[in-house]
Structure 1
């Protein structure tokens, strides 16, 4: 589908550039295609000069030098210097200020060449004068608008530096709705893909790799990451897998891997899991299955909701955890079912009354977190039925009584289960 040229003109924020490109469109509609190409180049040239001037006003020395050269040639009516500046303009825009990419440079260079053919007496042959076609004029108008006129001034390193400075600042919004307003007012409103990719790379490194990033910066990075998904869904979904594929293989330290799985495996960042490649998923899952024992309670956040991607890996790790890892090295805010299952299994293998009594005193606190009390009561009864050290310990009946009361289980059914297992009834 052909784009509407008038709509494209409306996308140009600078009034002067909009005026020139509108003139190019009017010439196109009138059939004056050579004039249209000339007006199109004028719009691009003036817009690039204005962008360089804007960057220079923010303190960029290269931009200030370029504008000083332009102003000097204009004030001194130095035609040769003016022509030289115009000739170098696209190269400056590409190499010094990163306003345009290499591909865009090629297309805009064709515009400059066609402008020269249209503005000067140019003959195709001895009897034929160069004529611009309507397709050529339209192509240049579209390219000029998309590549230059509709874009903000800062799009290269200067834009990235500004965005990263904003991310560090105290005025960066904390609510996602406000972050969208904030980012829409800067270079990310209509970013070049290179700028978007570089910014997303920094955000993802903050979230899954850099271990010295404070909590406020991480929250800002997370908000910016998902706001950009809403602002630019197509390039975002295309770039995120590529960035993740380049970052995750570089994670070597345990602290880096812990940070990556804590973001990608928990509720905050699990939406990115679908963009992680198979090899990297295996890498992260295997790390969780071998998670450091001294930090095992960090796996608590991988269980709710049940759809979290690393839940199975976390269950596998807890399923082989030792008593020391689960009780001595960990502080569970709310013990997941997998933790209670493992503790009850360890309880069932206690080899003497003293160990059984001591373990039961510690187990009771975690049993109160049970979301499957009937299942865990059955496991508790089974442990006592098969192990006389548990069955004969002083703490077992107290443990059962306390659990039944706090879980609000039906006592008659509990009595039946105990009787069926050949166990004595606690004093209710």
Structure 2
């Protein structure tokens, strides 16, 4: 049974974005606690009017034409002291906030309209008969304060369709963060930390349609990476909403897809393997069949490999991968690096038969897989380098291993001896040079200087015993 508790008013006040609006709502809370309920309602309504106008000013400063038009009319009315015009603006303020700027949903407007009606009864007692003097109950006052903060004061000025339009624009910018951690920080601070549930739900549905159907004109599949990062950011910030809506919408959308769109499902499964658990058995059986067939289709093969983290699909995908030619395996690993490909990537790398081939294999297999290797994998790679002169003598190999080191510094305590062993080996191979030059000159001449310096800086002793 879900536990329901009263909202803590002090905690609620801390969520108000604007400092001035927060002072008004704190004044309302103080009046409520002191039993001055009519004063509390009036102060709460003042917080509403200030916050709505403040939000519109914020949008005006950002160049919103509708907001600029509203602010121009307001400022002109204030400068000319046109009281009737200002009263009309206040009278229509909730409609403006709901219809023009989408600060409020229809139901939220109803809630705050109740506050407005009560405020009129409090501020204009002469408008009712003496017997009908309005005396609000404390529960009603508390309800108004909670509604105002939750519906309006804690949120950014952009919600609704305009917020979604701005998020879509950000997704399509070249500066959109390339990693999940960075995308979460960016999207949370700009949108998700104070997003209304309706905004989160509507955005989630739009992104699902974009990644699965590929029929959202403003978000073509060329932005698939950014779309998936945004979905993951929603999952991290609002997990309850994400799971609830995914369970409700995902299967329906997938069942409506034509065959040409089914590969898009694997992209989503690769980003969030939990999605597999939200499908029914018939959908799972169908996707297993699609997996087997698609592994032999170059145009969609890489999308399928992204779903290797789904346990039910992993055996099918690995079996299909093992049946591919070496060249195709290399292209798959380069496009969709996965820990499950580590052993084969190392085996393919070990077969380098010339310097340029070693560099090509290193760039296609070791570079993209750098974050996927375990300690044992890296030890195997270093042994492969020692055993193949076409690899360790290749000009590009030191840079490849430098990238491997940088991406796996967390493993250094377990790899210290392996890195040292590599340089002891290199020392033996280049011993004829050491007889003529200083150690640093040999490392520089053979291209290993940068990696050696990084290892030394990390505390690895590279000197042979």
- TM-score, L = length of structure 2: 0.62
Of 270-279 and 51-60, deviating more is 270-279
Distance 1:29 1:208, change over 3 A: same
Distance 2:304 2:196 in 1: 40
Distance 1:303 1:204, change over 3 A: closer
Q: Is contact 2:291-2:304 (8 Å) kept?
A: no
- 1:384 aligns with none
Distance 1:110 1:141 in 2: 12
SS at 2:312 equivalent: coil
Distance 2:158 2:324 in 1: 55
Q: CA deviation at 1:87?
A: 1.4
1:257 to 256, 262, 276: 262
Is 1:234 the counterpart of 2:240 in the alignment?
yes
Distance 1:309 1:245 in 2: 17
- 1:154 aligns with 158
Q: Is contact 1:270-1:309 (8 Å) kept?
A: no
Distance 1:187 1:24, change over 3 A: same
Distance 1:53 1:303 in 2: 47
Q: Is contact 1:123-1:130 (8 Å) kept?
A: no
- TM-score, L = length of structure 1: 0.67
What is the aligned residue count?
A: 327
Distance 1:249 1:84, change over 3 A: farther
- 1:390 aligns with none
Q: Is contact 1:297-1:331 (8 Å) kept?
A: no
Q: Is contact 1:12-1:18 (8 Å) kept?
A: yes
Distance 1:327 1:181 in 2: 40
Distance 1:191 1:246 in 2: 26
Distance 1:291 1:97, change over 3 A: same
Is 1:218 the counterpart of 2:224 in the alignment?
yes
Distance 2:303 2:236 in 1: 30
Distance 1:281 1:4, change over 3 A: same
Q: Which stretches in structure 1 are left out of the alignment for 5+ residues?
A: 319-325, 336-364, 370-428
| 1:260-286 CA-partner distances (Å, limit 9, x unpaired) | 13432x4x3322222335564455345
Q: CA deviation at 1:228?
A: 1.9
Q: CA deviation at 1:229?
A: 1.5
Distance 1:67 1:297, change over 3 A: closer
Distance 1:246 1:14, change over 3 A: farther
Distance 2:17 2:307 in 1: 49
Distance 1:125 1:303, change over 3 A: closer
- 1:84 aligns with 88
Is 1:284 the counterpart of 2:290 in the alignment?
no
Distance 1:287 1:23, change over 3 A: same
Q: CA deviation at 1:232?
A: 1.3
- 1:388 aligns with none
Distance 1:227 1:303 in 2: 19
Where does 1:80-159 land on structure 2 (aligned, <5 Å)?
Answer: 80-121=84-125, 126-159=130-163
Is 1:309 the counterpart of 2:312 in the alignment?
yes
Distance 1:21 1:98 in 2: 22
Distance 2:160 2:41 in 1: 27
**Aligned-residue CA RMSD (Å):** 3.4
- 1:15 aligns with 19
Q: Is contact 1:41-1:112 (8 Å) kept?
A: yes
Distance 1:278 1:95 in 2: 43
Distance 1:229 1:46, change over 3 A: same
2:272 to 261, 269, 272: 269
Q: CA deviation at 1:20?
A: 0.8
Q: CA deviation at 1:24?
A: 0.6
Q: CA deviation at 1:176?
A: 2.2
Q: Which stretches in structure 2 are left out of the alignment for 5+ residues?
A: 333-343, 349-465
- 2:188 aligns with 184
Distance 2:103 2:156 in 1: 9
Distance 2:88 2:190 in 1: 32
| 1:236-289 CA-partner distances (Å, limit 9, x unpaired) | 2212223424532342242x111213432x4x3322222335564455345446
Q: Who wins on radius of gyration, i.e. which is larger?
A: 1
Is 1:40 the counterpart of 2:44 in the alignment?
yes
Distance 1:116 1:87 in 2: 11
Distance 1:300 1:4 in 2: 49
Distance 2:165 2:87 in 1: 32
Of 7-16 and 241-250, deviating more is 241-250
- 1:400 aligns with none
SS at 1:189 equivalent: helix
